């Protein structure tokens, strides 16, 4: 792998790296912020999963998270949202294909050849990060929208692998909203029983771990009622007895203005668990 960007930032370094992914079969980029504490020794890692249409750049340039990562001594890793390249299957819609990997392992042709974002985020990327950067074994995962869905599902599917989880405006029940239905039918086929394996509200029913969930949702989010439906997560957590702090934020929308306003709370939430 090779570094393609490096910037001094809050006493640490914001970098972007590129590597050839064996899981996805293409070149991939990810951002990594190394706080000043990383120069002295290993630090825990918080993985950030971005939403539809995003690359690794959205979070590292808009969220303002580096300030808080430097304060708490946490490495931030932000991968791209899907495989990319001229030979990678794509779609004309913004909510399918490149930029819309949905953090699942696709099983349906032609997507199955490259679209295995779950395994990339859970296995290949952390192995790469741990081999090249001063990390501890403590990991957290967070994300926004499609990436919020990814964070919740990845934490629920992999008990013991993460110490903390949070999300902004997550797609909490992709099996029951248009964004998720379109993606799941394409990537996974039409068997809705299979879809449940990638749906946070469904996974909560049999969750073997009780990581507290921190979720922020903007009250003026244009996608609130049709695509996000946080009340379904609230009900699923209540039924399963799973700890959830769902914070509805009046006046905030779906943008990075919203994320930047509360990212400090999320980094602190993860830091408490990652340094415990």
Active site annotation includes 199? no
Catalytic member of 114, 254, 266, 269: 254
Burial status of residue 166 (CB atoms within 10 A of its CB: 0-12, 13-18, 19 or more): buried
Q: Is 221 a catalytic residue?
A: yes
Which is the catalytic residue, given 145, 164, 166, 169?
145
190 is catalytic: no
Q: CB of 211 within 8 A of CB of 164? A: yes
Q: 240 with 234: CB under 8 angstroms?
A: no
* Residue of 80, 95, 216, 221 marked catalytic: 221
Closest alpha carbon to 221 in 51, 48, 18: 51
Per-residue CA distances from 149 to 60, 102, 153, 202 (Å): 19, 8, 6, 12
Helices in the chain by DSSP H: which ranges? 56-62, 66-72, 117-119, 125-132, 146-157, 178-188, 192-195, 200-203, 230-240, 256-274
Distances (CA, A) of 240 to 1, 94, 163, 203: 42, 34, 19, 10
Rg over alpha carbons for the chain, rounded to the nearest Å, is 17
Q: What is the DSSP letter of 97?
A: B
> What does the block give as tokens for 6?
């490096």
Give the number of other Cβ atoms within 10 Å of residue 231's Cβ: 14
Active site residues: 145, 221, 254
């Amino acid at each position: 792998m090779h570094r393609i960007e490096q910037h001094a930032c809050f006493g640490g370094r914001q970098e972007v790296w590129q590597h050839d992914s064996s899981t996805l079969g293409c070149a991939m980029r990810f951002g990594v912020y190394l706080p000043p504490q990383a120069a002295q020794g290993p630090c825990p890692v918080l993985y950030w999963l971005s939403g539809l249409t995003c690359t690794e750049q959205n979070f590292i340039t808009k969220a303002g998270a580096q300030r808080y990562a430097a304060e708490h001594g946490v490495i931030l890793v932000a991968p791209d949202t899907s495989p990319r390249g001229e030979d990678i299957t794509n779609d004309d819609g913004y909510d399918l294909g490149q930029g819309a990997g949905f953090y699942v392992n696709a099983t349906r042709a032609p997507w199955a050849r490259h679209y295995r974002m779950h395994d990339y985020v859970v296995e290949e990327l952390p192995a790469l990060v741990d081999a090249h950067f001063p990390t501890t074994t403590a990991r957290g995962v967070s994300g926004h929208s499609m990436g919020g869905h990814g964070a919740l599902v990845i934490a629920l599917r992999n008990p013991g692998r993460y110490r903390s989880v949070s999300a902004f405006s997550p797609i909490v029940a992709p099996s029951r909203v248009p964004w998720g239905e379109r993606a799941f039918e394409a990537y996974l086929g039409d068997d809705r029983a299979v879809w449940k394996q990638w749906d946070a509200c469904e996974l909560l029913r049999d969750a073997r771990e009780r990581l507290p969930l921190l979720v922020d949702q903007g009250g003026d989010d244009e996608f609130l009622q049709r695509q996000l439906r946080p009340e379904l997560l609230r009900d699923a957590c209540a039924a399963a007895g799973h700890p959830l702090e769902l914070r509805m934020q009046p006046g905030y929308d779906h943008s990075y203005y919203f994320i930047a306003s509360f990212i400090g709370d999320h980094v602190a939430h993860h830091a408490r668990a990652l340094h415990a």
